[in-house]
Amino acid sequence: MSGAAVKRTPFFKVLIANRGEIALRIMRTARRLGYGVVAVYSDADRDALHVREADQAVRIGEPLPAQSYLNIDAIIAAAKASGASAVHPGYGFLAENEDFAQACRDAGLVFIGPSPEAIRAMGNKAGAKDIMQRAGVPCVPGYQGADQSDAVMLAEATAIGFPVMIKAVAGGGGRGMRLVSDAAAFPDALRSARWEAQGAFGDPTVILERAIVDPRHIEIQVFGDRHGNAIHLGERDCSVQRRHQKLIEEAPSPAVTPELRARMGAVAVQAVKTIGYEGAGTLEFLLDRDGSFYFMEMNTRLQVEHPVTEAITGLDLVELQLRVARGESLGVRQEDITFSGHAIEVRLCSEDAGHDFMPQSGTMALWQMPGDARVEHALQSGAEIPPFYDSMIAKIISHGATRDEARGKLICALEQVTAFGVTTNQGFLIDCLRHSVFARGEATTSFIGRNREALAPRADQGSDIALAALLLYVTNPHAPQWRRGRSLAATFPLGLRIDLGHGVQEIEVLRERDGSYVAARNGDRFSFEIDELGPDNIRYRRNGLMEQAKFLRDGDRLFVLHRGVTLSARDLTLAPPESAAAAGGDGKVRAAMNGRVVAVLVKAGEEVAAGQPVMTLEAMKMEHVHTAGVAGTVSSIDVAEGEQVTTGKIVVEIEAAT
């Protein structure tokens, strides 16, 4: 296409139709290039950092995504009100919604992404597979037909052969995806996948695929412009996943040779040229152990993990998006792309890895990020993490000359992360990076599942409890102030009752005459010599080893960062003993988090067994099944489907069987 025939679409102010770290990431590049930036926000994000950092910000609705970040009319109106002439969708929410891209076009706004036609062609998993199959690209066997009836879906799944994968056609990020092992489990999995797909993408349609056992998840970053140019920027390995959602990504992949990279890259570029694709996109593949690869889907947007590609190519992918959206050429040819070193990214999430990665919301009392790594986040101390959105709260990226160097840098950076107030997966990520399988570059999509026990929270709870008890003792405002050196005072042990999230622990703490402290629990004695005690840090010696920890005392709560693991302790010494209610032993099932009721699975008067599912709650884009704590009869159902509930609310009551 000649330069004269290319339509230019200049713009000077960009509205970012997203939130959190990606909104700030886009702002950074847009401002560097001289664009004004506009934020949008829901009521839950009124005081969020991305709102305060923007030139302007427009309210678009109530907290739930359907009422705000998925509200096309509200976002278009916000662009008009602010004077923005372009819209960047970020990732997630409406980023791959063809109706949103069309609405921007109809409103005279530049959509910083592919055309509605390209999103329709490649953003839909079923349509993308058809295009790839016609082009001769190997695809995972499956069913992507229009008949979505329960009977047909079950029949097709049976014909494919279990295990099968259910996938939402309209999105990614693991939402609307279920691995089903047999026909008996298929109906419930299908219902759940459809509901999640509807809530996340506004489309309940799903496809079926044969489950490829133990593959690697490889994706190829591509770019196209309206001048007919198309390039790829190499691959990313995104195999380390939980719940089909990525946790660790790296570039290049330890499993991809230069020859394989060239073959996969050529396939990806051909796909871009075939549909006249403009902007950033990612083609995702499953890579088998024998080197065979199968196309899964194309993401017609920027990816969460784009920083690792930026690190090894030296390119700013958001800048390329903005230039292509203006009608400029990419300005870089395939032969210009070079790769330098290795980069790894981890997703820091507000979730409890020890309890099935259950999302966590609440107030982040203290938030401090490492200064010697690239960190993408939108939090600060005192910020609220709402239950309505994805659990990812930060991305930490390292780059090194070698993979081992990048991995070591990332572990050091993670050990410095201070996230007090809301449980995160910080320690779990460190354990993943340190694991021998990952260190050897051999992790597949089954890495977490196969190594779950080794990646569980560390078993050395005795010393953790002792350290927490010591800090509760020496930071108690009513306790004698710590001073270095010997003590002439009599040593009387103080009994403490503390809870680190896995039951109440009884422990005694006393100070010896030589100035050291002893914490005794269940016959074990832990001795500490304190070298320095500051307002938020302690340096101490135990068994001749000097260590340091950072802490925050907040009333009866204590948060401790020790060797990259964050502990949260509650001082129950003066609190009355807790009943069995918290564990559901009183027959009352309580919401484990803030969220929305999506399914009530029992009826009043129904007999239930202990451990039987009774209610499904959705929080941070994932479903969580709540079970009966006792066997008995359902006496009351205290919520309705669609209702928003808070942590601890009684949702179902069961009269225990005699």
| Contact (CB, 8 A) for 18 and 93 | yes
Q: CA 387, 389, 391, 393 torsion: positive or negative? A: negative
- For residues 234 and 246, give the distance between their C-alpha atoms in angstroms, rounded to a whole number: 18
State yes or no: is 289 an active-site residue: no
Alpha helices in 40-149 (DSSP H): 49-53, 72-82, 98-106, 116-118, 125-134
Residue found under tokens 């060797």 = 563
- For residues 230 and 222, give the distance between their C-alpha atoms in angstroms, rounded to a whole number: 7
- Neighbour tally for 588: CB within 10 Å: 19
To which H or E segment does residue 384 belong? strand 383-385
For residue 14, which of 35, 40, 32 has the smallest C-alpha distance? Answer: 35
Angle at the Cα of 428 from the Cα atoms of 425 and 432, rounded to 5 degrees: 135
- Neighbour tally for 96: CB within 10 Å: 25
| Contact (CB, 8 A) for 200 and 621 | yes
| Contact (CB, 8 A) for 306 and 248 | no
- For residues 403 and 342, give the distance between their C-alpha atoms in angstroms, rounded to a whole number: 5
Alpha helices in 250-328 (DSSP H): 258-274, 306-313, 317-326
Q: In DSSP terms, which residues pair with 362 in a beta bridge?
A: 385
Token readout for 598 is 């999506």
| Contact (CB, 8 A) for 125 and 96 | no
- For residues 620 and 174, give the distance between their C-alpha atoms in angstroms, rounded to a whole number: 12
| Contact (CB, 8 A) for 14 and 30 | yes
82 backbone dihedrals φ, ψ, rounded to 5°: -90, -10
- For residues 209 and 205, give the distance between their C-alpha atoms in angstroms, rounded to a whole number: 14
| Contact (CB, 8 A) for 50 and 378 | yes
| Contact (CB, 8 A) for 46 and 39 | no
| Contact (CB, 8 A) for 638 and 652 | yes
Instruction: Give the CA distances from residue 557 to residues 282, 345, 403, 472, 567, in Å, rounded to whole numbers and listed in that order.
Output: 44, 31, 39, 9, 10
Cis-peptide into 457, omega within 30 deg: no
Q: Which of 175, 301, 347, 553 is an active site residue?
A: 301
Q: In DSSP terms, which residues pair with 218 in a beta bridge?
A: 237, 285
Interacting residues of 55 by C-beta distance below 8 A, sequence separation 6+: 13, 36, 37, 38
| Contact (CB, 8 A) for 298 and 169 | no
| Contact (CB, 8 A) for 287 and 257 | no
- For residues 36 and 12, give the distance between their C-alpha atoms in angstroms, rounded to a whole number: 6
- For residues 354 and 461, give the distance between their C-alpha atoms in angstroms, rounded to a whole number: 13
Counting DSSP H helices and E strands in the chain, the numbers are 16, 39
Active site residue ranges: 301
